[in-house]
Each structure stands twice: as structure tokens, then as C-alpha cells.
Amino acid sequence: MENKDKMKLANDGLPEHEKPLFCDARPQTYKPLGKYVEKFLNWARANSLWILGYGTGCGAIELRPLMTARFDMFRWGLAPRPTPRQAGVFVIGGYMSVKTLKRVIRSYEQMQGPKFVIALGSCTINGGMYWDSYNTINRLDHYLPVDIYITGCMPRPEALIAGFNKLKAMIKAQQTDGQNEYARNFDWYKANQKKIVKDWNMPDYNW
């Protein structure tokens, strides 16, 4: 009980009735349920990818054609979802600024695990044409773990499908460990995040 209490965070500065509304514990690693059970679960996860799309401008425009009859994303087991709580794949497209990074981090931490991240487009990966802007984040993987990079400006729908198929193969092979990496290196990720985001505009973390 003592160790469990040490993991709890106080959410200082919040009224008592608001403290339960915000996370008060560090992220935990996901532990496989057994060789054959996990193999079946990964097969099911890989064939049912629920997507949370976060586009910051032109970055998300190529996701729309995937829903049309020509590409029909649903036949690949892909389905868009409206909230982080319902999604397992976080597709981040477009340039990342200080303002958008804050919201991307919040969205990622609200997703239930196992969860996976796809960086879509050159701007998301290295800043693209905005790489030398004062307000652009050039290394998303310094703030969140990334499982798949899809390059291009912008990548065509065929490239997106190839990226999703690669992610599916990695899930089945148990090669997607981003969620556990985030939990194990949480202090490093959080330190990097706080160097960029100075004002969370909501109760800050206490770690």
C-alpha cells in the first residue's frame, strides 16, 4: 500500500472535487498476457485499427481519400474514431508547433493501451519546410514514441496504406513497444515536453 501511495500524485492547486478529473499516476507498462493469448490479441488488434487523426493543416488531407470508394479504408480494417478514448492508433499529420504539441501530448495520454503512433508527412517527422521556424517542433520522437514514419509532402493514399500494413505486421510480430517505452522513459519525455510547453493552460503535472 505504501508503494502504491508513493506513485500517486497530488494534483496540487486543484479543488478537492476536481482532483479526480485529472490523472494522478504515472503511466504503466503493458505486460503481455501469455505467448499464445498475446499472439491472438495482436492478430485482432492488427486487423481492427481505430484511428484518431490529428491534422494541423495540410497534414491530414490525404486521410480523406482513404475513406472514398477508390481506396475504401474499411476493407483494411481501419476505422476513424472521434475521441482518444476510443482509438488505438494516433495518426499525427502536419507540422507540430508549441501549441499543437501540447494538445497532441494530452490526446496521446488519454488513449488506452496498447496504442500506436504514426507520424504522417515530412513536417511531422522533421519540420519539413518549416524546419527552421521558431515555433516548429522538429523531432516528434523526443516528445512521444513513434512506431511508423510515412514520409512525403504529402504522402499519397497508397503510401498511407503501406504504412498501415507495416504497422499491422509490426503489431503481429510484437515489435511495437512505444507505450512501454513512454512509461519506462517517462521522466525523459516529460522533461523534453516541459522545455517546450511552458503554459499547459490547465493543471500541470506534478512530476
Could you report the per-residue pLDDT of 41-59, keeping only the tens digit for each? 989 998 889 999 888 777 6
- For residue 52, list its beta bridge partners: 90
pLDDT for residue 166: 94
pLDDT at site 149: 92
What is the pTM for the complete model shown?
0.82
Q: Indicate the helix (H) or strand (E) that contains 43.
A: helix 35-46
pLDDT, position 207: 40
Pairing between strand 49-55 and 89-93?
Answer: parallel
Low-confidence ranges of the chain (pLDDT < 50): 1-2, 7, 204, 206-207
CATH number of 50-196: 3.40.50.12280
Query: Which stretches within 70-118 are classed as H helix?
Result: 98-110
Q: What are phi and psi of 56, to 5 degrees?
A: -105, 10
Predicted pLDDT at 72 = 83
Residue 66, burial from CB neighbour count under 10 angstroms (0-12, 13-18, 19+): buried
